[in-house]
Amino acid sequence: SCAYYIAQALHDQDNPCGLAGTLGHGLYGEVLEQAGLTTADLLTLRRWLADVRDKGAHCAVMEVSSHALDQQRVQGLPFAVAVLTNLGRDHLDYHPDLAHYAATKKRLFTDYNAQHCVLNLDDAFGQQLAGELGERVIAYSCEPAKMNLSSYSGSRYVWANCITLDTDGQHIELQSSWGQGQLSSRLLGRFNTSNLLAALATLLALGMPWQRALQRLARVSNAPGRMERLGGQSGQPLVVVDYAHTPQALEHALTALREHTNPQGSSRVWCVFGCGGERDPGKRPLMGAVAERLADHVIITNDNPRNEDPAQIITHIQAGIQVPQDCQILQDRAQAIRAALAQAQANDIVLVAGKGHEDYQVIGSQRMSFDDRVVIRDYLREQAA
């Protein structure tokens, strides 16, 4: 999401911006070419950079995966700005442990001579890096009052002093080394507040004036499948599709949606999710625990089971749930989504998590056409008819 917001804010008709990451690669605003990897191999990346340059791009925004850093896929590429959003539990099917994952991520900030390092001080790893990287750092925080500011000796920062969340989005009161201001956004979730701060710090690092940066970020929309809003009108529940596929991401999404519900307590939060097969099995019970703790109603379903037994994956998820009989089990993902929408009331919020923008589902060796958003739109259209 953060890369998508930065690319949106940098892009205009006369100065297009390149974008590469989980959503694909190309010019922002065009249909992105799917590469199969968050960060492609070095040759593909260089061809892509040359292509967007030839199309008039003045800059490019790239998600850099830990796999790419470990395999030196971005070796030799110059970065003007490197951004850390957080360090969560992810890709432990590849990295032997979190320490290796952290050390690999750190390379983006130490090995590539980035002129500016934008770091999240609400994240312990971000605080650690801020203490090591010196004057290249621009720090950002959604909770500066809770942070030990003496631990950050840098001169450049962006703080959110007050955040107000409602069903329309969020309103942020900002303080920074560039000045003070306000930012209103339709984006959902306090973690998107953090993403907006990271994007703002990046725009400022690149020399964009303060007020222009605020104006551009006020207009950004969610990345496809990232807290994407559907429904929510004409007596229908608000449905949110998100790529959350780790315990931390699922917790962020559910916490965010809880903060956007009716403060009188009449709104319920539903969660439809599963876990991918042939990926880190250790996160499955953790995600089950998160869903049970933060959602009022949970439906466990298939994600991309691949060649694993879907029932076994669900059993792993249930191991983290204290009262598993309170959760519905519907392996068919479309059926699970429709069941949640059928039971949800008009003022409820339904989170469909795990697949986000994906337009396929992998079951066994078959890759089939499937899109959470299509299932949701079809159901809502049927009910409105």
Strand order of the β-sheet with 238-242 is: 228-231, 238-242, 349-353, 269-273, 297-300, 328-329
Kind and range of the H or E element at 26?
strand 24-27
Q: In residues, how long is the chain?
A: 385
Mean of pLDDT over the chain: 93
Bridge partners of residue 229, in order along the sequence: 240
For residue 265, what pLDDT is reported? Answer: 66
Q: Is the pLDDT of residue 97 over 70?
A: yes
107 — phi, psi (to 5°)?
Answer: -60, -30
Residue 89 has pLDDT above 70, yes or no: no
DSSP state of 78: -
Dist CA 210 CA 382 (whole Å): 46
CA–CA separation, 195 vs 177, rounded Å? Answer: 18
Burial 230-252 (b: 16+ CB within 10 A, else e): bbbeeebbbbbbbbbbbbbbbbb
Outline which parts of the chain fall under CATH 3.40.1190.10. Answer: 2-218
pLDDT tens-digit map of 238-258: 999 999 999 999 999 999 999
pLDDT for the residue numbered 34: 82
Query: DSSP letters of 143-189?
Result: -GGGS-GGG---S-EEEEEEEEEETTEEEEEEEETTEEEEEEE---S
| Strand 17-21 versus strand 24-27 pairing type | antiparallel
Q: Is the pLDDT of residue 264 over 80?
A: no
The pLDDT value given to residue 149: 61
pLDDT of residue 151 exceeding 70, the answer is: no
Residue 174: predicted pLDDT? 98
pTM score, whole prediction:
0.81
Confidence bin at 385 (pLDDT 50/70/90): confident
Tell which residue, 59, 67, 58, 62, has the closest CA to residue 82: 62
d(CA 348, CA 262): 9
User: What residue type is 115 in one-letter code?
Assistant: Q
Tens digits of per-residue pLDDT, 265-319?
A: 678 999 999 999 999 999 999 999 999 999 999 999 999 999 999 999 999 999 9
Measured CA to CA, the distance from residue 276 to residue 208 in angstroms comes to 40
Task: Pick the range with the lowest mean pLDDT from 152-156, 207-211, 290-294, 328-332.
Answer: 152-156
Q: What is the per-residue pLDDT for 98?
A: 82
Pairing of strands 116-120, 349-353: unpaired
Contacts of 336 by beta carbon, 8 Å cutoff, 6+ apart: 272, 299, 300, 301, 328, 330
The per-residue pLDDT for 78 is 87
Contact indicator for 274, 262 with CB cutoff of 8 Å? no
Is the CATH number 3.40.1190.10 carried by domain 2-218?
Answer: yes
| Domain(s) of CATH 3.90.190.20: residues in the chain | 228-384
- Output the pLDDT for position 372: 99
Superfamily grouping for domain 228-384: Mur ligase, C-terminal domain (3.90.190.20)
